[in-house]
């Protein structure tokens, strides 16, 4: 499992789907928002949690097609399917590799980029916490989408259409945690909902992804 994780991390960075691409897209989104809505600091402060969460979500979406596509193209996926490691473990490792190369850098960069949107000081901790809880769900859901579309030519657009509706609950509760925290409001309810979604996704979707991959590999 460690060898597979190390291999996926190396492939993700070498193929251009690592943290640099996601961070660059995240930075572009956050930088363009003030040009679109104006330089009003009060308005930027109010919309900052939602914009940061949306930027992180889109940055995760940007690299989803690389989770399984490279293994499919070079035949490695067929070899992994015959390995002693269960398919559920394989897709879990790939989701973890995606989170480490995309989700974790976004979590660490979000507070810094929050300064560009005049995020209230009280919101930095809650923004980081909500992203730390929510981005693993984005990677696992994205792995499920990648399993559904693996082998399809130009399946990136189809995968985006399939995955985006599944991302909506995580986006709603993640942004709500950051917004309430920034305004000094109670955050327990959306925080528990966000944690529940992430735990449910991590517990259930690897089995669904493995089942889909077995069908596609027949």
Per-residue pLDDT in tens (0 to 9) along the chain, 218 residues = 677 777 777 766 665 555 578 888 899 988 888 888 877 888 888 899 999 999 999 998 888 877 887 777 777 777 777 777 888 888 998 899 889 888 999 999 999 999 888 898 889 999 999 999 999 999 999 999 988 888 776 666 788 888 999 999 999 999 999 999 999 899 999 999 999 999 999 999 999 998 988 887 77
Rounded distance between C-alpha atoms, residue 116 and residue 98, angstroms: 26
Residues 6 or more apart whose Cβ sits within 8 Å of residue 205: 140, 141, 143, 144
Rounded distance between C-alpha atoms, residue 208 and residue 125, angstroms: 33
What one-character DSSP code corresponds to residue 115? G
The whole-angstrom distance between residue 184's C-alpha and the CA centroid of its chain comes to 26
Task: Give the residue from 146, 148, 58 showing the smallest Cα distance to 102.
Answer: 58
Rounded distance between C-alpha atoms, residue 141 and residue 218, angstroms: 23
pLDDT of residue 55: 92
Contact criterion met (CB below 8 Å) for 190 and 173 = yes
Other beta carbons less than 10 A from residue 39's beta carbon? 9
pLDDT of residue 37: 82
Residue 27, phi then psi, degrees to nearest 5 = -65, -40
Q: How many domains does the chain have?
A: 1
pTM of the model: 0.89
pLDDT of residue 125: 94
Print the domain residue range for 170: 2-216
pLDDT of residue 154: 66
pLDDT of residue 18: 55
């Amino acid at each position: 499992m460690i060898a597979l994780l190390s291999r996926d991390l190396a492939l993700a960075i070498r193929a251009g789907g690592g943290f640099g691409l996601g961070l660059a897209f995240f930075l572009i989104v956050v930088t363009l928002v003030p040009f679109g809505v104006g330089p009003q600091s009060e308005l930027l402060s109010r919309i900052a949690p939602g914009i940061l969460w949306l930027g992180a979500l889109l940055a995760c979406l940007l690299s989803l097609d690389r989770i399984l596509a490279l293994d499919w193209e070079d035949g490695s996926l067929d070899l992994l399917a015959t390995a002693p490691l269960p398919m559920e473990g394989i897709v879990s490792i790939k989701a973890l590799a995606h989170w480490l190369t995309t989700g974790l850098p976004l979590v660490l960069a979000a507070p810094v980029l929050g300064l560009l949107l005049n995020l209230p000081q009280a919101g930095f901790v809650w923004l980081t916490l909500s992203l730390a809880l929510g981005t693993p769900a984005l990677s696992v859901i994205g792995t499920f989408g990648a399993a559904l579309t693996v082998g399809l030519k130009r399946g990136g657009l189809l995968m985006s259409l399939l995955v985006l509706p599944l991302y909506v609950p995580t986006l709603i509760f993640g942004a709500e945690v950051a917004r309430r925290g920034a305004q000094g409001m109670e955050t327990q309810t959306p925080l528990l909902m966000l944690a529940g979604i992430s735990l449910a996704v991590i517990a259930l979707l690897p089995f669904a992804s493995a089942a889909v991959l077995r069908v596609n590999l027949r």
